[in-house]
Structure 1
């Protein structure tokens, strides 16, 4: 009898735990990821970054001084976490002769920059899907795509000294990286959403996406060198390409997950109590009125 009562009690406890988990934050978070097609969005962003953003980096590197070329290569090493033979190959790519600094080369750089806006457009679509907003008009969003790319290039350029804390140490570098990444994602959402969501409601997603991508970047310093070397040994020159694509998918999956969780956190009661928005100044979901400025 005691054993039977113990089994019943254990079964009841298990059912209660299952019900709590099914209705808890973890279940709601998974529902958010499914609603925004997080894996598909991350794969699309990774493909656009690889096909358009990386060629833009190589095109820009051909026109900048040697100092900036070295800084860009070091920043890529800091972000991706590669070193050794793979880093030497990256350095040779950026410091090689590349495209000639001629008018035709400048036109090619401009064409590459315009092509890279496909990455900005894909990221804008993800942000709009997370907030359930319609696509912004091209006349409103076009200049935002180019501006985001330019700011992104500038932010990438300073990643190496930033993560070293500009010479003050690793701890301060981590703090600066977390802060700058959150600010960059905060501004990214505001820009690509055409200011249709208030700053206060964009903050949770920015913090989650920024923290996740920075911590993943530090973790990649341990994992990526081994993965790159193994891919090079197993598959030859294509091995690092496959590894880089996989890493990009993971990075953007973390970013999309953070952005998708942002609206849920921003609409929660405890966040409303924390931020205490002024009543009557903005709708409950954080969106500006439809006739407001873009």
Structure 2
């Protein structure tokens, strides 16, 4: 009786495992088309190439605009920029001191070194980041490049809005003094809205609002999650880089962080296209057929 019971129990377990295996295989077969579409989308967008190019453009053109903007801004705005950088990168110690020195440049020094013409040239050169991000949006949504008359002014608008948004990021992530329990949801919502608007703006309004929402949610939440995680690993990484290589180490670490940031951005926007074309979501969002 004992042997028969043992064999019966083993047979029941094997049958359960077999049923689970068949269910898993059936689920995998159902998901394979979605996985293949997602992988094909990442190839079409050139994920790693696009994220690296965006990081380089941001580092070479957009960040200098941030420094010039901080130099001409009132001290209260500079303080908010430092707070935003602290929350985004988890800055502390010598790394935070370096950022304070750069963002604490006096107005007179900035005017003497740059002048009004230099500021305008720096601003226009920073639209290279806007243009690179526009190409990512167009590749993700498989639309042809927009004409210059349609899109050129949008590059400057995008840059100015994001500079303004950076000023309040520290306040948002602190929940306006209430703490992280309010700051994290506020940051996620504001980041989602910004990336929703970014896609619509840089696509020149050629894609309606609702289909862009999945990509905005993925990108917005992903950026906030990266910033939150950065508070744990970036301080030690920055301190080690500064002690080993000096200011050059901070440059390398910041560039690596920008590559990670724009990988999240490109991944979110590209995956949003695939999700928006999945039948259940496509019906609700009114997503137009591919192509």
With normalisation by structure 1, the TM-score equals: 0.86
5 Å matches for 1:19-58?
Answer: 20=29, 23=32, 25-58=34-67
Note closer, same or farther for the CA distance 1:36–1:103 as it changes in structure 2 (3 Å cut): closer
- Secondary structure of 1:62's counterpart equals helix
**Cα distance in 2, alignment partners of residues 245 and 103 from structure 1:** 25
- The aligned counterpart of 2:162 is 152
1:213 aligns with 2:218: no
RMSD (Å), alpha carbons: 2.5
1:272 aligns with 2:268: no
Does the aligned pair in 1 maintain the 2:90–2:235 contact within 8 Å? yes
Shift of 1:97: 3.1
Does the aligned pair in 2 maintain the 1:21–1:27 contact within 8 Å? no
- Secondary structure of 1:158's counterpart equals helix
1:163 aligns with 2:173: yes
- The aligned counterpart of 2:251 is 241
5 Å matches for 1:53-92?
Answer: 53-92=62-101
1:115 aligns with 2:120: no
Mark the structure with the bigger radius of gyration: 2
Shift of 1:284: 3.4
- Secondary structure of 1:82's counterpart equals coil
**Structure 1: 5+ residue stretches without partners:** 1-5, 288-294
**Cα distance in 1, alignment partners of residues 180 and 71 from structure 2:** 31
Shift of 1:168: 2.0
Does the aligned pair in 1 maintain the 2:68–2:110 contact within 8 Å? no
**Structure 2: 5+ residue stretches without partners:** 1-13
For this pair of structures, how many residues does the alignment match? 274
Does the aligned pair in 2 maintain the 1:205–1:259 contact within 8 Å? yes
**Cα distance in 1, alignment partners of residues 34 and 254 from structure 2:** 32
Comparing both structures, which one devotes a greater share of its residues to helix? 2
Shift of 1:104: 5.8
Does the aligned pair in 2 maintain the 1:213–1:254 contact within 8 Å? yes
**Cα distance in 2, alignment partners of residues 224 and 44 from structure 1:** 22
